[in-house]
Structure 1
Amino acid sequence: MSNSGSVAGGDAARRSSEGRIGWLFDPKLVSVALASVAVVVVAGLVQISFGAYSMTVGEAWRAVLDPAVLLDPRWLLNFFVGEGLMRSITGFQGELPELAHGTLIVWNIRLPRVFVAAIVGMNLGVSGAIFQAVTRNELASPFILGVSSGAGLMILLTLVVFGGLSAFLPLIAALGGAVAFLVVYAIAWKNGTSPVRLVLAGVIVGTVFSSLQTGLFFFADDIGVVQSAIQWTTGSLTGTDWEQVRLVLPWTIVAVLLSIAGSRQLNLLLLGEQTAKSLGMSIEKVRFALSGVAVLAAAASIAVAGIVSFVGLIVPHMVRNLVGSDYKRVIVGCLFVGPALMVGADVGARLGMSVITGADSQIPVGIVTGLVGGPYFLYLMRKQQNMGEL
């Protein structure tokens, strides 16, 4: 009897475990993930092939997969955590082995841009998905709800006035985004909120904060600060390096883990407040906690890439259309589709001018995402009669 009991218990445990993670192997979700990874790989290889030192896609592929880097933890730690921390972790005090010229260019200069684009897309996709669930409003996003403008204003204020605080940009951006979202929520509140009031409040707050951003330009005496500020307000990945990867990666890991952990609460919020309350949820606490996660994810992205428009709006829509409305799948889907969109858009930003005009110049990636996101936003409005609530 004890043997049969043990077997039955083991079967039950196995079924429970499969139930907890079985959704990860949903064919639609797996297909979306694989297709997105393919887009990131292809677009990333195209991205790192161009530059003053040109190389073929095959040469770029071999440089990315160079065993001298991938099989040497010292080089990997040197790139991802910095030389000082690498030496502290490994105890290595000598000179790192030399890398081939192409490998050094790809890993040291070009690959960080692809990583930053992927991380930014991931953050903005997850942030938009959370905001759309928290507000039950499919028009919600960090851009539409004023979070991007609030975080961008704080970043510009730091660059122009408090340059010594630049090391704390993610926290400063999170503070600006949080304040902006609270202001939007307060304006929209009238015995509760509605999708229309939230969007209108977001437009109002975003406009005011954008005007303040423009006003800050007049206080910048250094033309370099002005140019940097313009990059922030239009969204740009030009000049990104491993420092930006190291800056945004820890906050991204925190935001992603918390968003996955909160997917069940997001599903409950979509059922309506009365249903969620009847299941024991503290609506306001959960709503603001999850909003904090969304603000952190968006602000971390803004801290390294500036204000990239529309990604947080269209990525969750694309994922829901592909994998369904279960937020466990939606969050994971955004972790793949967001990077695919951003890396692809960055290739357009990098090569668009040379293809159209022949000029060797780049446009901000925020312009490309705006050109893609604007028509998609219009498509959503024309397609759905009852635009607003999820």
Structure 2
Amino acid sequence: MFAVASETREAGAELRSAVSWIDSGLAALILGSCAIVTVAGLVQVSFGTYTMSIADAWYAVVDPQVWTNPGYMLQLFLGDWLGGGVAQLFGLSTAPPDLSRKTLIVWGIRLPRVIVAVLVGANLAISGAVFQAVTRNELASPFILGVSAGAGLAILLTLVVFTGLAAFLPLIAAGGGAVAFGLVYAIAWKGGTNPVRLVLAGVIVSTVFGSLQTGLFFFTEDLGVVQSAISWTTGSLTGVDWEQVRIALPWTVLFTVPLTLLGARQLNVLLLGERTARSLGMSVERVRFALSAVAVLAAGTAIAVAGIVSFVGLIVPHMVRQLVGSDYKRVVLGSVFAGPALVTVADVGARLAVPGTQLPVGIVTGLVGGPYFLYLMRRTEVGQL
């Protein structure tokens, strides 16, 4: 019995040690962000052609008919084929539950938009946090290495030239961002890379790809294609559904978030400078490339389902750093929660700003992020850029 008690105390001590870096400031940030996401999500699911009160929306979200039917939940998050197969494997019912009209509207149409906003915010925020550490520049963003320009060009090429591939648009967007990152890294390579060359190469690629994007608009007379392209390049959550949730969720849960948390220690070392990192035995180029690849994957995941939502990757990591300190364990975890708070609030603003019209969420984040970027630029010394 004493041995069991001793093992229990040791396990408790190890657990406390493992989470000791989660201080009161980080806990407050996480709880506050969750509260903001909850309130903004309830407001979001309350508005639409079929209007309902906040209370009705809340009841629809927590409807026991949904939460007590795991087979239905699996089909929503994994799809009919995979979710249904998993449900049958565990002997769960795949029959659709008898849901009220309000619950069907909330779970079938409106709630996926909130979930996608959460996934997009988390991915863009941690992508920005990684890029700011890799480049050692607090003005960096997920798009400083040309990821957004590459994704935007791939989107426009698909919509204007390769229209038959429109069904694969999300994958093409992510691939375009990855290609742009590869070009940036190749341009910046000169027996190695450094933060300055990476930033300058990103500016070069973004400028060239941006010019090509503008030129492509002159090759189409279909206004529908132009509107669709503008929606992608400005970032929009209008019309997203469970398909977009199923695209972004596995990449976020299985790859981008855990890999970034695992790489937090390496990010802290990179911030000390290349010489110090090498003296500590780090292979700087390999680590920088690997962490940048994770950041590109995170940004590509967000772009694939929502288009180019600007400034989230710039604003969130910087604000989190001001609140919880510079330890990247705290910065990454804080960004995972603060990013969704910003995007869900911005999406509510985009939804309600102009009655009868749904603005792209990227416009709202751009209006907020532009002045904030100017503030950061003015308070940052030239030598730090």
**Same fold, judged at TM 0.5 (above):** yes
Give the partner amino acid of 1:125. A
Q: Residue 8 of structure 1: CA displacement?
A: 7.7
1:357 counterpart residue number: none
2:328 counterpart residue number: 327
Q: Deviations over 1:274-321 (max 9, x none)?
A: 222222211111110111000000011101111111101111001100
- Select 2:19's aligned residue among 2, 18, 21: 21
Give the SS at the match of 1:239: coil
Q: Residue 183 of structure 1: CA displacement?
A: 3.0
2:155 counterpart residue number: 155
- Select 2:43's aligned residue among 46, 55, 59: 46
Percent of aligned pairs with the same residue? 66
1:233 counterpart residue number: 233
| Cα distance change of structure 1 residues 367 and 250 upon mapping to structure 2, 3 Å threshold | same
1:34 counterpart residue number: 31
Aligned length: 381
> Does 366-375 or 132-141 show the bigger shift?
132-141
Distance in 2, matches of 1:93 and 1:217, equals: 50
Alignment of 1:1-390 (within 5 A): 14-24=12-22, 26-91=23-88, 95-163=95-163, 165=165, 169=169, 171-188=171-188, 197-220=197-220, 222-253=222-253, 254-354=255-355, 360-386=356-382, 388=384
Q: Deviations over 1:183-221 (max 9, x none)?
A: 334445567666555444323321211222233334446
> Does 197-206 or 279-288 show the bigger shift?
197-206
Structure 1 gaps of 5+ residues are 355-359
C-alpha contact 2:72 2:94 (8 A) present in aligned 1:
no
C-alpha contact 1:195 1:388 (8 A) present in aligned 2:
no
> Does 152-161 or 136-145 show the bigger shift?
152-161
Distance in 2, matches of 1:364 and 1:387, equals: 36
C-alpha contact 2:69 2:97 (8 A) present in aligned 1:
no
Q: Deviations over 1:120-158 (max 9, x none)?
A: 000000000011111111111122332111122223323
Distance in 1, matches of 2:170 and 2:267, equals: 25
Give the SS at the match of 1:22: coil
| Cα distance change of structure 1 residues 168 and 15 upon mapping to structure 2, 3 Å threshold | farther
Distance in 1, matches of 2:153 and 2:307, equals: 10
Give the partner amino acid of 1:233. T
Q: Deviations over 1:348-386 (max 9, x none)?
A: 1110112xxxxx111111110000001111111222335
Structure 2 gaps of 5+ residues are none
| Cα distance change of structure 1 residues 61 and 330 upon mapping to structure 2, 3 Å threshold | same
| Cα distance change of structure 1 residues 199 and 274 upon mapping to structure 2, 3 Å threshold | closer
> Does 223-232 or 117-126 show the bigger shift?
223-232
> Does 373-382 or 154-163 show the bigger shift?
154-163
C-alpha contact 1:138 1:387 (8 A) present in aligned 2:
no
RMSD in angstroms over aligned alpha carbons?
2.5
Q: Residue 249 of structure 1: CA displacement?
A: 1.1
Q: Residue 222 of structure 1: CA displacement?
A: 4.5
Distance in 2, matches of 1:340 and 1:117, equals: 9
Distance in 2, matches of 1:288 and 1:345, equals: 32
C-alpha contact 2:135 2:199 (8 A) present in aligned 1:
no
Give the partner amino acid of 1:301. A
| Cα distance change of structure 1 residues 164 and 290 upon mapping to structure 2, 3 Å threshold | farther
Give the SS at the match of 2:85: helix
Distance in 2, matches of 1:219 and 1:81, equals: 39
Give the SS at the match of 2:20: helix
Distance in 2, matches of 1:57 and 1:6, equals: 49
> Does 120-129 or 377-386 show the bigger shift?
377-386
